[in-house]
Amino acid sequence: MLWQPVNLTEACPAQAQLSSCTPFGFIFLNLVAQLYGGSYDARVQARRERGQCYNDEIEPREEYDFIVVGAGSAGCVVANRLSAVQDWKVLLLEAGIEQPDVTLVPGLATTLLGSNIDWSYETEPNGKSCLARPGQSCGWPRGKVMGGSSSINSLAYVRGSKEDYDEWAAMGNDGWSYEDVLPYFKKSERNLNIEGLNRKYHGVDGEQYVSRYPNVDKPAIMMIDAFHEGGVPIGDFNGAHSETTMYSQSTSKDGQRVSTNNAFIQPIRYKRKNLTVKSEAEVTKILINKQNAAFGVRYTLNGKVHTAYAKKEVIVSAGSINSPKLLMLSGIGPREHLEELNIPVKKDLAVGENLHDHVTFNGILVVLPNGTDTRVGNEEVLEDLYEYREMEHKHGPLSSNGPISAIAFIKTEPDLPAPDIQYQIDRGFLKEFVSQPALYDEVVIYPSSYYDALIPRTMNLVPKSRGKLLLNPKNPNGKPLIYANYFDDPTDIIPIVKGVKFLIGLEKTRAFRSMGAYFEKTPLKACKNYEWGTDRYIECLARSYTSTTYHPVGTCKMGPIWDEKAVVDPRLRVYGISNLRVIDSSIMPIVNRGNTNAPSIMIGERGVAFILEDWLKDRECDRFDYDYN
């Protein structure tokens, strides 16, 4: 299947006054699909299949040592490491399509949202957040493609704070302190910048490329300079101290995205005969016998139902939404909920609970006067699309993700153990955003390289509110009910208000003045009854124009056996079900203070290390000295 962009006919309501909804928007998306809609892996497979003969009537029993469900940020790592043991057969199943070429272009990251490689989830209303959005619901993009969300995210490589992992360990999760997990961050990392010289915190020999873009926007540098003038040290927030600011590194190389599919699967997919990868294969059930042991999965592919068997383990790496959904469909979850849906209960566990995300909002805008913005004409946008495709060494506007890698971390109170606020800078078109702020967020198709305004997003890194995920009673196999429950705990608004006040103060810095930048002080529609910049106005913005940071976690919580909310133990084994683990961001007991892609890769490394220890402990050879080629 080819990449299919968002359907503008459906996404753009009749009253839309956005450039995305003009005839040029349709032309732009059609050209992107033509230039970048294909897939490297699809082309390779087509070449390999020519001349091969198949007998569709003969279907041998699908039997493997390990089955990995989900080829996302963690699942690709797990499949790579397991298949490195040559006498193990490994099956990797992904519900989405092969990774299309469009995902490789950093500047087209937002163009991917709403397309056929996005699950396009939505939250349920709670009356306290997303109030100005249609149906009081916030969109939750999730990757439905090889590479998962690492193929559609904003590429920032951020680990969080040392204190995050020490807190996990203090909760009874042995083996998850910062000292424990740092080697696994470094193991997969191939750092191409000066940070790579600091071998205490960074790795240079791993598969996951980490680097800066070849093209950096001046407005992004302005924001870094302004944060620094405001008192935030410039430094590596993935190093010794996280309370810093810098132009973030990204999961990229030479101006192209490097997803976990690109890094961990493509280099081995056609070389390791013991690894089988199937895309567009959605797992619908984990098979569990009477002894409560997982022994395989049922999945759909090409309209047919298939069964695959695992001699050793089934590993669920489907992400914070689809991992709990699959467990519940398989009879692992809250007893009352499963019984209501007539799903036989295999194990009563708090699956789907502890859901949380770094809550943020859109609504504070920095205006860039003429001459300092990066907006260009339609013809130049199309020319850049052609030129990037033809470049051998990628550079120019599309080789970066605009200002989004301008990141800062602060503490809103000096005695906090670690930052509680993160700023990540989005880009926008001023007039369009001010006129239709809720709709603007829903239809953003143009490259992030072109804009005339900045939208600094103030993110609460330590949310206390907790939501949950439930199967949809109308269609349990369909999109689940996602109760993000933003701002259920009213104290979650406090650090956001303080963070925005700090942000507004940056208008006085030399960095802002040198570019003539200033904050747009016209109140947005939903908050027009409040004075711009006051606490009440900021709270109104946060509740009205609430937004995800794409960091949902916690739905298969890791915890010691005495933790009533724990779904997996510290070795990521599902309680009460043998031969079954969950290895992805859903196991986080508390979200890390930062973006979640890099920690998810680490969780993949840490989790698969447990598997290797358990299954290779009796071998005479060094259990980690296996072939990576």
Instruction: Kindly list the catalytic residues.
Output: 551
Alpha carbons within 13 A on the beta-carbon side of 401: 31
Is 283 annotated as contributing to ligand binding? Answer: yes
The span from the CA of 389 to the CA of 392, in Å, is: 8
Question: Which amino acid, residue 19?
Answer: S
Instruction: Report the 3 state secondary structure along 240-290.
Output: CCCCCEEECCECEECCEECCHHHHHHHHHHCCCCCEEEECCCEEEEEEECC
Name the phi and psi angles at 204, rounded to 5.
-130, 0
Structure tokens at 408: 């800062």
Number of separate helices (H) and strands (E) present in the chain: 18, 25
Is 314 annotated as contributing to ligand binding? Answer: no
For the chain, give the number of residues. 629
The span from the CA of 506 to the CA of 407, in Å, is: 14
Name residue 355's beta-bridge partners: 467
Torsion of CA 484, 487, 493, 496, to 10 degrees: 10
Show Cβ contacts of residue 224 under 8 Å, excluding neighbours closer than 6 positions.
Answer: 234, 245, 246, 247, 406, 408
DSSP state of 397: G
Structure tokens at 561: 């056996």
Structure tokens at 101: 């070429």
Of 260, 276, 263, nearest in space to 66 by CA: 276
Of 342, 275, 381, nearest in space to 25 by CA: 381
Question: Which amino acid, residue 490?
Answer: P
Q: How many angstroms separate the Cα of 414 from the Cα of each of 254, 417, 419, 420?
A: 39, 8, 9, 11
Which positions make up the binding site for FAD? 145, 283
Residues placed in the known binding site: 145, 283
